Structure 1
Amino acid sequence: MMAMFFAQRVILNKTKFVEVPVTLQPGVKDILDESGLGFLAE
């Protein structure tokens, strides 16, 4: 749930991937990859 929240914030450019809590980064990266937006996690 929180990973999806942060993924949306990264997609909307409200939060940078490096600002996502470390424990949630793998889940957020998976969501971004599945959405074809994995480059946002670099």
Structure 2
Amino acid sequence: YSCGYKRVFEEYGSILRQKYPELQIYGENYDPPGYNMLIAKIL
């Protein structure tokens, strides 16, 4: 997984928390279906 996506997610979350302090933001990686992951690894 790309660290760039994590950084953007954290920056976006920070912006949202500044505007909406009561907002709780959760994030995690979503694993694609097995065959898509296999194809991506082959490529």
TM-score by length of 2: 0.36
Which structure is higher in RCO with an 8 Å CA cutoff and minimum separation 6?
1
Larger Rg: 2
